[in-house]
Amino acid sequence: MSSHPAKVSSRAARKVAAPAQSKALSTTKQKLEKLGLRSAQDLILHLPLRYEDETEIMPIAVLRPGRSAQIQGVVIRSEASYQPRRQLTAVLQDESGVIGLRWLTFYPNQQQQMQVGRRWRVRGEVRGGLHGYEIIHPKVTVADSPLPAALTPVYPTTDGLSQPSLRKAILQALASAELNDTLEADSVNKLGLQTFSLAIRTLHGPTPDMDAQALIEHTHPSWLRIKFDELLAQQLSLAAARDARRSLRARKLTLNSKPESLCARLLQALPFSLTSAQARVVGEISVDLQREFPMYRLLQGDVGSGKTVVAALAALQAIDAGVQVALMAPTEILAEQHYQKLKIWCEPLGVEVCWLTGSITPKARKLANEAISGGRARLVVGTQALIQDTVEFFDLGLVIVDEQHRFGVAQRLSLSRKGQDAQTGAALSASDDFVPHQLTMSATPIPRTLAMTFYADLEVSSIDTLPPGRTPVLTKLISSVRREEVVAHVAQACTTGQQVYWVCPLVQESETLDLQTAVDTHLALTQALPKCRVGLVHGQLHQTEKAQVMKAFREAKIDVLVATTVIEVGVDVPNASLMVIEHAERFGLAQLHQLRGRVGRGVAKSVCVLLYQTPLSLLARQRLRAMYETQDGFEIAQRDLDLRGPGELLGSRQSGVTLLRFADLATDSALVVAAREVATDLRKNAPHIVERHLARWMRGREDFLRS
Ligand code: ADP
Ligand code: MG
């Protein structure tokens, strides 16, 4: 099974959400435990978030807003006021000038501290205030005490655990903990890395001669060593998870290669032949399905590359071998579309396809459940409702998850466990606990380094060419002041039989407001385009209504389809050749790419108009430029990664990125590659080092290792 990032992060979330009412008595030890710090080893790997430079006192006259400062001076004015709001203000003076200090909440003893004439050392961030510079909520300490010789580390902490007590605990741990290298000295040298002990000691207590900037920006050689170790641990544990899966048992789904096999008959019936890329991935999947341990394969292919037929062939191989197959999609529109297509492909072959979503009537649902648990339904297509507890499969052998990036890892796992439960449950003889094979499909190409970590526990197949006959989509960037012209162009296009998507943006995090925009746009376009049939589809429509609209569009009974992003993934209407995206500046890059992928699927020359509203933020400008400059999904994904970082690209909760505390996949790709090579070598040649390294890095994270 895959790693468990979702589990880890929900755990972390709980930790944060835990009420701070834990007894006032709670000792430092308990507070440390709250941070997951139990042993000396835990403490030494609790590394600073940042550093503060407290090695110098600055003259007040040189301070600039936005910078942190440490100054020393005498209080020359002090006032507690209660109108218009409660606050404490003071003015501190040194030989060079004065600066304001301000507290928005304060205790009586702070007011006493700030009595005129007293001398303090003060630290904080300088801001430009109404009456000159000021520091809000400064840290106040005794003046004229000796200055530290090194940068002061600032650690991640929790309520009620002060930096000084945390620092003390860590210093103690450093004195007692074992800091030996997990790697051989030789390979540390060869990799050009620092030793572990030097790196750890440096990061906890850098001396003033060290490059402060590099320490703060995590580019210092000491950070590189730690990040390398962390990435190595990740690679090793993902590889272990992969191995563990091989000890699970799955049905061996032998390929029927007779001419009357289901696969052969589908290939015969298709109006096209597979591209060589499709044929290759079909082969890869087919080999996996014939193994006795479960397949966990990711099928990557840009929008329109033809993943569905590959999924169908995998399903038919499995069905021919005698098991049930489930295909799950993230939205009803998409599930419905798969259902329609698979029905057309499979039913003539005598394969019963069953439709199951959250919104079917109780009666239809009961019938579906019976067909599924009785084993009559061989291919079950639907949405997440599939994974609800009420569904019992008779003999689920393969699970296909489409547009997998929409699902959390937890959901992925839940569905694959479904197979286990169905097997061990009442349905079959209790002795055979097989795990279903799993194929996940994604149209979001993942840059190589991300794939190496996020998907390191999966096999990956890529469809790297599009079916023949596609013409590239012409992308136009048009300012919204020219919206009228675009509407006129749409009117023109309709008269020549073209079909058009008009995409409305998400306005807010509010479904009602988004809906309102779509409804308004629909009304406006209906009026502006009297000769066109304008339809509307959005997320709030009942699923049957949605399906009706999509059907009408597919059958060319609608010319212009006003839509929200419900059409973002997977929707396939080859005759649609013009797409207008309003407020394109509000969409993410991956989303724009997915949307644009809805056109350019047929032979007609397709155009995608990105209507934008000025002024554009820098980020929006970069995104639109990327859309204009390239159509290559991998290129787009790489630019997206550069613009946003991996957390957002994959959705940090499901990315597995949250497991990395120090390394950053966007900037540390060279380290990822190195760690991967070393991991492979160690697993082959030095299992004792693997064990040692994981023991250091995976302590307390057993749930990550377990599979
Ligand atoms: P996606 O990978 O985005 O899910 P689809 O599976 O929806 O792509 O395929 C996009 C379109 O291309 C569909 O209309 C499909 O029937 C068609 N298609 C798939 N494979 C081929 C092929 N080898 N030759 C021609 N058309 C194909
Ligand atoms: Mg698809």
| Cα-to-centroid distance, 441 and ligand 1 (Å) | 14
- Residue 690 near ligand 1, beta carbon < 6 Å: no
Among all bound ligands, the one having the nearest atom to the CA of 277 is: 1
- Residue 441 near ligand 1, beta carbon < 6 Å: no
Strand residues in 18-148 grouped as ranges (E): 50-52, 68-81, 87-93, 98-103, 119-129, 132-136, 139-142
Among all bound ligands, the one having the nearest atom to the CA of 402 is: 2
- Residue 48 near ligand 1, beta carbon < 6 Å: no
Question: Is the per-residue pLDDT at 215 higher than 80?
Answer: yes
> What gap in Å lies between CA 492 and CA 40, rounded to an integer?
73
- Residue 570 near ligand 1, beta carbon < 6 Å: yes
Ligand 1 atom closest to the CA of 463, numbered from 1: 2
> What gap in Å lies between CA 343 and CA 547, rounded to an integer?
15
pLDDT of residue 425: 31
Peptide bond into 294 cis (omega under 30): no
Of 13-22, 46-55, 503-512, 609-618, where does mean pLDDT reach its minimum? 13-22
Whether residue 215 is contained in a domain is answered as no
| Cα-to-centroid distance, 342 and ligand 2 (Å) | 12
| Cα-to-centroid distance, 303 and ligand 1 (Å) | 9
Whether residue 435 is contained in a domain is answered as no
Residue % of the chain over a pLDDT of 90: 45
Q: What letter does residue 617 receive in the DSSP assignment?
A: P
| Cα-to-centroid distance, 91 and ligand 1 (Å) | 71
As a whole number, mean pLDDT of residues 381-388 equals 71
| Cα-to-centroid distance, 307 and ligand 2 (Å) | 6
Number of domains comprising the chain: 2
Ligand 1 atom closest to the CA of 341, numbered from 1: 16
- Residue 272 near ligand 1, beta carbon < 6 Å: yes
| Cα-to-centroid distance, 706 and ligand 2 (Å) | 32
Among all bound ligands, the one having the nearest atom to the CA of 342 is: 1
pLDDT of residue 700: 55
Residue 378: HSE in the Cβ half-sphere, 13 Å Cα cutoff? 20
- Residue 330 near ligand 1, beta carbon < 6 Å: no
- Residue 547 near ligand 1, beta carbon < 6 Å: no
> What gap in Å lies between CA 407 and CA 421, rounded to an integer?
20
Question: Is the per-residue pLDDT at 169 higher than 80?
Answer: yes
| Cα-to-centroid distance, 396 and ligand 1 (Å) | 26
H or E segment and range at residue 516: helix 511-528
pLDDT digits (tens, 9 = 90+) for 477-499: 999 999 999 999 999 999 998 99
Residue 287, C-beta contacts closer than 8 angstroms, at least 6 positions apart: none
Q: How confident is the model at residue 507 (pLDDT cuts 50, 70, 90)?
A: low
The alpha carbon dihedral of 660, 661, 666, 667 has a sign of negative
- Residue 633 near ligand 1, beta carbon < 6 Å: no
| Cα-to-centroid distance, 569 and ligand 2 (Å) | 7
- Residue 36 near ligand 1, beta carbon < 6 Å: no
Strand residues in 115-235 grouped as ranges (E): 119-129, 132-136, 139-142, 152-154
Whether residue 581 is contained in a domain is answered as yes
- Residue 342 near ligand 1, beta carbon < 6 Å: no
Q: How confident is the model at residue 9 (pLDDT cuts 50, 70, 90)?
A: very low
| Cα-to-centroid distance, 402 and ligand 2 (Å) | 7
- The position carrying tokens 């972390």 is 12
Q: Whose CA is nearest to atom 26 of ligand 1?
A: 467
Of the residues 630, 663, 691, the one at which a domain ends: 630
- Residue 442 near ligand 1, beta carbon < 6 Å: no
| Cα-to-centroid distance, 485 and ligand 1 (Å) | 33
Ligand 1 atom closest to the CA of 274, numbered from 1: 23
Tokens of 166: 């945390």
Q: Whose CA is nearest to atom 10 of ligand 1?
A: 304
Of the residues 147, 178, 209, the one at which a domain ends: 147
How long is the chain?
707
pLDDT of residue 4: 37
Among all bound ligands, the one having the nearest atom to the CA of 340 is: 1
pLDDT digits (tens, 9 = 90+) for 239-252: 887 787 788 899 99
> What gap in Å lies between CA 443 and CA 449, rounded to an integer?
17
Cα angle 84, 90, 95; round to 5: 150
Question: Is the per-residue pLDDT at 413 higher than 70?
Answer: no
pLDDT of residue 105: 84
- Residue 182 near ligand 1, beta carbon < 6 Å: no
Residue type, 367: L
> What gap in Å lies between CA 214 and CA 196, rounded to an integer?
18
pLDDT digits (tens, 9 = 90+) for 141-151: 999 989 887 78
Question: Is the per-residue pLDDT at 407 higher than 50?
Answer: no
pLDDT of residue 424: 33
Q: Which residue has the higher pLDDT, 443 or 220?
A: 220
Of 225-234, 515-524, 579-588, 641-650, where does mean pLDDT reach its minimum? 641-650
Q: Whose CA is nearest to atom 17 of ligand 1?
A: 306
H or E segment and range at residue 216: helix 212-216
User: CA 10, 12, 17, 19: dihedral to nearest 10 degrees?
Assistant: 130
Q: What letter does residue 57 receive in the DSSP assignment?
A: P
Whether residue 568 is contained in a domain is answered as yes
As a whole number, mean pLDDT of residues 497-524 equals 79
Question: Is the per-residue pLDDT at 53 higher than 70?
Answer: yes
As a whole number, mean pLDDT of residues 175-198 equals 93
Among all bound ligands, the one having the nearest atom to the CA of 466 is: 1
pLDDT of residue 657: 38
pLDDT of residue 389: 57
pLDDT of residue 16: 37
Q: Whose CA is nearest to atom 18 of ligand 1?
A: 306
Q: Determine whether 66 is exposed, middle or buried from the number of CB atoms within 10 Å of its CB (0-12, 13-18, 19+).
A: exposed
| Cα-to-centroid distance, 332 and ligand 1 (Å) | 20
Whether residue 461 is contained in a domain is answered as no
pLDDT of residue 646: 53
Q: Which residue has the higher pLDDT, 449 or 326?
A: 326
Question: Is the per-residue pLDDT at 2 higher than 60?
Answer: no
pLDDT of residue 415: 46
Whether residue 592 is contained in a domain is answered as yes
> What gap in Å lies between CA 605 and CA 588, rounded to an integer?
25
Question: Is the per-residue pLDDT at 702 higher than 50?
Answer: no
Q: Which residue has the higher pLDDT, 387 or 447?
A: 447
For residue 306, which of 333, 341, 261, 258 has the smallest C-alpha distance? 341
As a whole number, mean pLDDT of residues 666-685 equals 90
- Residue 447 near ligand 1, beta carbon < 6 Å: no
Q: Whose CA is nearest to atom 4 of ligand 1?
A: 307
pLDDT of residue 25: 43
Q: How confident is the model at residue 207 (pLDDT cuts 50, 70, 90)?
A: confident
Residue 502's domain is classified under what CATH number? 3.40.50.300
> What gap in Å lies between CA 571 and CA 551, rounded to an integer?
11
| Cα-to-centroid distance, 478 and ligand 1 (Å) | 30
pLDDT digits (tens, 9 = 90+) for 613-653: 988 888 899 999 999 999 888 788 778 777 765 544 444 33
Question: Is the per-residue pLDDT at 73 higher than 70?
Answer: yes
Q: Whose CA is nearest to atom 23 of ligand 1?
A: 274
| Cα-to-centroid distance, 403 and ligand 2 (Å) | 7
Mean pLDDT of the chain: 83
- Residue 320 near ligand 1, beta carbon < 6 Å: no
pLDDT of residue 380: 94
Q: Which residue has the higher pLDDT, 530 or 546?
A: 530
What distances in angstroms separate CA 605 from CA 304, 496, 704, one per listed residue? Answer: 15, 13, 49
Question: Is the per-residue pLDDT at 24 higher than 50?
Answer: no
Q: Which residue has the higher pLDDT, 107 or 115?
A: 115
Q: Which residue has the higher pLDDT, 448 or 24?
A: 448
Among all bound ligands, the one having the nearest atom to the CA of 306 is: 1
Question: Is the per-residue pLDDT at 421 higher than 70?
Answer: no
Of the residues 147, 177, 211, the one at which a domain ends: 147
Of 34-43, 378-387, 580-589, 688-697, where does mean pLDDT reach its minimum? 378-387
pLDDT digits (tens, 9 = 90+) for 277-306: 999 999 999 999 999 999 989 898 887 889
> CB neighbours (10 Å) of residue 313?
25
Q: How confident is the model at residue 10 (pLDDT cuts 50, 70, 90)?
A: very low
Ranges 188-192, 332-336, 536-540, 654-658, most confident:
188-192
pLDDT digits (tens, 9 = 90+) for 464-474: 888 887 778 99
Q: Tell me the H-state helices in 290-408.
A: 307-320, 332-346, 362-374
pLDDT of residue 410: 41
Whether residue 369 is contained in a domain is answered as no
Whether residue 228 is contained in a domain is answered as no
Ligand 1 atom closest to the CA of 273, numbered from 1: 23
Residue 141's domain is classified under what CATH number? 2.40.50.140
Q: Whose CA is nearest to atom 9 of ligand 1?
A: 306
| Cα-to-centroid distance, 305 and ligand 1 (Å) | 6
Q: Whose CA is nearest to atom 20 of ligand 1?
A: 306
Whether residue 210 contacts residue 678, with contact meaning beta carbons closer than 8 Å, is answered with no
Q: How confident is the model at residue 577 (pLDDT cuts 50, 70, 90)?
A: very high
Tokens of 398: 């393969």
Residue type, 55: T
- Residue 594 near ligand 1, beta carbon < 6 Å: no
Domain holding 583, by residue range, is: 473-630
Among all bound ligands, the one having the nearest atom to the CA of 303 is: 1
pLDDT of residue 331: 73
State the angle between helix axes of 262-269 and 307-320 in degrees (0 to 180), rounded to the nearest 10. Answer: 150
- Residue 308 near ligand 1, beta carbon < 6 Å: yes
Q: Whose CA is nearest to atom 15 of ligand 1?
A: 306
